[in-house]
Amino acid sequence: MDLSIIIPVYNEAESIPTLLQNIRQAMEPVPCCWEVVFVDDGSSDGSQAVLEQLAKQDEERVRVVVLRRNFGQTTAIAAGIDHAAGDVIVLMDADLQNDPADIPCMLDKIAEGYDVVSGWRVDRQDTFLTRTLPSRLANSLISWVTGVHLHDYGCTLKAYRREVITGFRLYGEMHRFIPAYAHWVGARITEIPVRHHARKYGKTKYGLERTLKVLLDLLTVKYLNQYANKPIYLFGGAGFVLIGMSMLTLLVIILRRILLDEHLVRSPLLLMSTMLFIMGFQSIMMGLIAELLARTYHESQHKPTYTVRRLINPNGIHPQDLLSGEALEGTPSGGPKAGPLLPTNRYDP
């Protein structure tokens, strides 16, 4: 399978048949093998029956994953990716706001060698104050914080090479951060303008509260990227700063006692110094606990701390097997020795 188009569906019964028809039209001139994976995210408006009908009509191209309840768009997308067979994955909305006619251009860009092609709704058809404006601000902030400069993180219509998006799990509202994750595993990213239409049927599932969720997700993404392997640098750093401030305050107290003959407990400085010290100490302790968690995170999943683009003359050893000991057990005598390779798969010797 060359291409999987993944579409999360939550109460979009009226749009789906037209959408599938539009996809067929758009894909007709493209010489590739494609499928559509619809994920019904707990719809209650009969979307499921519509999807069943469409799947029955075209068993080869239409796949449907029906979730047990509404899990949210990001989780629905994750389920779609897990059930997709394509080497290239295109994500899009079910509400006809994205236009499948843009997919061939995206595939051209992938063929040029890009790993991620991000859609940019140049002429966005949403209400300005509650949707477009917050989204513009969020895009600038996300671009600045992640260092991946895109005009439209919120546009679902994006194409990905499978290998750059299967290495991590998606939580919360995080599907919009996939390009940033992909960039961190070394993906080449580009952006193309795409069409955008006003919603014809149904209504949007989101309001302004999403902006807050996106900000919190951004914080998580930044933390995971920069400090997940070395959390002590963040917490320990903050701890040192706080303890440093505590010591400075203590110095001021002592100088005031000696030079000005001030009584120690007459000012709040002593209390402040103690508080700062305790906070700093706690922060360092938190960093140490986070270090333990980082090890649990990587080692419980046999997750290396690097990503490999390609191997030249590989020797057949799979690092994950080495970490779990399977390679050693499964290798007949005379097979490759695992010992010297082991430390390179760990992030601390």
Residues touching Mg ion, count (CB under 5 A): 3
Q: State CA 108 to chain mean position distance.
A: 24
Find the binder of Mg ion among 97, 246, 273, 283 (CB under 5 A): 97
- Inter-residue contact 249 to 209 (CB < 8 Å): no
Q: Tell me if 152 contacts Mg ion by CB under 5 A.
A: no
Compute the least distance from the CB of residue 282 to Mg ion, in Å.
44
Q: Looking at the chain, how many residues does it have?
A: 349
Nearer to ligand UDP, 173 or 191 (CB): 173
Tell me the closest approach of the beta carbon of residue 97 to Mg ion, in angstroms.
4
Residue with tokens 């080497």: 87
For residue 261, the SS3 value is: coil
Query: What residue 94 binds from ligand UDP, Mg ion, none (CB within 5 to 8 A, per partner kind)?
Result: ligand UDP
Q: Which is nearer to ligand UDP, 158 or 298 (CB)?
A: 158
Q: Residue 4 or 97: which CB sits closer to ligand UDP? A: 97
Instruction: Return all residues near 328 (Cβ < 8 A) that are at least 6 apart.
Output: 322, 338
Q: Which stretch binds Mg ion (CB under 5 A): 42-50, 95-103, 324-332, 339-347?
A: 95-103
Rounded to the nearest 10 degrees, what angle do helices 47-57 and 15-27 cross at? 30
Q: Is the Cβ of residue 72 or residue 239 nearer to ligand UDP in the bound state?
A: 72
12: its two tokens: 């979009």
23 phi/psi in degrees, rounded to 5: -65, -45
**How far, in Å, CA of 165 to CA of 132, rounded?**
27
Q: How far is CA 241 from CA 50, 193, 236, 317, in A?
A: 59, 45, 9, 45
> How near is the Cβ of 135 to ligand UDP at its closest, in Å?
9
Neighbours of 258 (CB within 10 A): 9
Q: In what order do the strands lie in the sheet with 116-121?
A: 62-66, 34-40, 3-9, 88-91, 158-161, 116-121, 189-194
Contact footprint for ligand UDP (CB under 6 A) = 8-10, 12, 41, 70, 72-73, 76, 93-95, 97, 204-206
Nearer to ligand UDP, 18 or 204 (CB): 204
The least CB distance from residue 46 to ligand UDP, in Å, is 14
Q: Which is nearer to ligand UDP, 48 or 225 (CB)?
A: 48
Q: Which is nearer to ligand UDP, 204 or 344 (CB)?
A: 204
Q: Which of 41, 95, 152, 173 binds Mg ion (CB under 5 A)?
A: 95
In the bound complex, what is the minimum distance in angstroms from residue 49's beta carbon to Mg ion? 22
Question: Choosing among ligand UDP, Mg ion, none, which partner's interface includes residue 205 (Cβ < 5 to 8 Å by kind)?
Answer: ligand UDP
- Eight-class DSSP state of 341: G
Q: Which residues bind Mg ion (CB under 5 A)?
A: 93, 95, 97
